[in-house]
Chain A
Amino acid sequence: MSIDIDTARRVAHLARIAVKEQDLPALAAELSGMLAFMEQLNEVDVDGIEPMTSVTPMRLKRRADVVTDGGMPDKVLSNAPDAREGFFAVPKVME
């Protein structure tokens, strides 16, 4: 499967990474190269094999559904590029 320029543009947008129009052909070629490498997987007979979902056979831990942490808005916001009045601040979301 080779990736064309439109697909590269779409993937970049899905990944929320701005890519200049003139850089799309190179990106498409790079992604195609990586996918060509992955195509080797098509040689493997995977009939009847379950996809691996857990690295070690373990049951995920459970805990009571209660708040265990919190009450520290200053710490939560301390690394924000823009925080005001106890909130993260972002550019306008709605027109």
Chain B
Amino acid sequence: MTALNELTIAEARDALRRGETTALALTEACLAAIEGAGALNAFVHHTPEIAREQAKAADARLARGEAPAMCGIPLGIKDLFCTRGVPSQAASTILRGFRPEYESAVTSQLFEAGAVMLGKLNMDEFAMGSSNETSCYGNAVNPWKIDDRKLTPGGSSGGSAAAVAADLCLAATGTDTGGSIRQPAAFTGIVGLKPTYGRVSRWGIVAFASSLDQAGPMTKTVRDAAIMLGAMAGPDARDSTCADLPVPDFEAALTGDIRGRKIGIPREYRMEGMPAGIEALWHRGAEMLRDAGAEIVDISLPHTKYALPAYYVVAPAEASSNLARYDGVRYGYRARLAQGDGITEMYEKTRAEGFGKEVQRRVMVGTYVLSAGFYDAYYNRARKVRALIRRDFEQAFAAGIDAILTPATPSAAFGLGEMAAADPVAMYLNDVFTVTVNLAGLPGIAVPAGLDARGLPLGLQLIGRPWEEGELLNHAHVLERAAGFVSKPAKWW
């Protein structure tokens, strides 16, 4: 029999509605799993009291027979989401001790739908990283293991990915600025969905790069992603870029029928030096969709190569502006000052001690590309290239392509510490297949599709048309079913 913490959202929802289990029992099972998983360092702030209280309220609501799908579902919440009265640090020393007086739009909506918060999840500092190694809490660890090495769960939503893959929660929230939901999902064998930019409110999420940031679900199945997105999405006047569009029933879109759909295979995603296992998986994925009745079409997205350099201008530029608010005045950390230090020394020491190395690096690069004399050469040029990258996708969709299939990552999970000596740009290459989607504002989903020769999970990415997450999820559902990925990490923690 499946343990309660191992259930999917859909299974738990159905069991709750049938009265076969309770939200409190689900919650206790997850709390016990978390208790025994300290070695993964996934949960960094534990909120068992809140969880039990929310679970009891959910059970009362279930008893009244008026429970939405997420009612009673225990979740992990990425530390980037502000949660009232609960530490919300973005994995940074500079927000040490910060307890928001308000609740993010996403967590508010999830709680209104009856979801249960088990605690806050590890991540890269300010979501800047691809391995969860820039966190002030230390590394989160991938539950997948093939030898003595501890592997990265990916980043920045590394704690979310590890927690879902290890069955510490039924699902988790993530955020994705350049691949931070999809890359960790692929590294841990779970599903990760980045919705269309503007589908989910960014209000109350610690900002990294506002034109790229988008929150989404990290789940065990595509169906769960559909259910959870439904509860996270929707208009919000407090985020001016959040679209005034109704939220469709994403789960109802999972018909399993993709006959006649056109799937684009972008030739520019065939990278030199790509592991043979990933190339083969990509090919198999295309065959699975063809077998399901879709038409496979070779397409070209000619500006793909320039997505990463454009991203590493735009994202640091926006970050340098967004992170200017961490000044040691209004919240979080303030450095101890020396005799005679004025306000400038306070800013400079606070930010030097409060920000980690990678965050400092990106804030400074962003400052440079926005500075007088370089704004046009770097920032404006990057925004023009970004327009071309979006146009590539628009042209593909205008030519009748319904979804685009690519690998999710250029490799499987690597060992923690293995990239420490590499130059920062080498780490950035992790996002090579995912970052285009953020630049173009499109929805993208990572689906676990197989294991590599060493036994580590690999994911495929599907990219959809804007606002058509339902269609995208349906394609992902077909791929998930055909791939039949059921492997779980063997428990060592």
Contacts and interface: CB of A to CB of B under 8 A. Distances in A.
| Interface residues on chain A, size class | 35 or more
A40 interface: yes
B211 A55 contact: yes
A12 B347 CA distance: 12
Contacts of A60: 240-241
A15 B363 contact: yes
Nearest to A51: B383
A16 interface: yes
B305 interface: yes
A91 B337 contact: yes
A60 B308 CA distance: 28
B120 interface: no
B197 A92 contact: no
Nearest to A72: B101
Contact of A11 (B324, B367, B377, B382): B367
A3 interface: yes
Interface in A24-47: 27, 30-31, 33-35, 37-44, 46
A38 B382 contact: yes
B311 to A, nearest CB: 10
Contacts of A90: 329, 343, 346
Contacts of A84: none
B214 to A, nearest CB: 9
A34 B243 contact: no
Nearest to A74: B101
A63 B385 contact: no
Interface of B: 97-101, 196-198, 211-212, 237, 240-241, 243-244, 303, 305-306, 308-310, 312-313, 320, 324, 327-334, 337, 341-349, 351-352, 355, 360-361, 363-365, 367-369, 371, 377-378, 380-388, 390, 423-425, 428, 441, 466
Report the 3 A-B pairs with minimum CB-CB distance, sorted nearest first: A51-B383, A79-B331, A81-B334
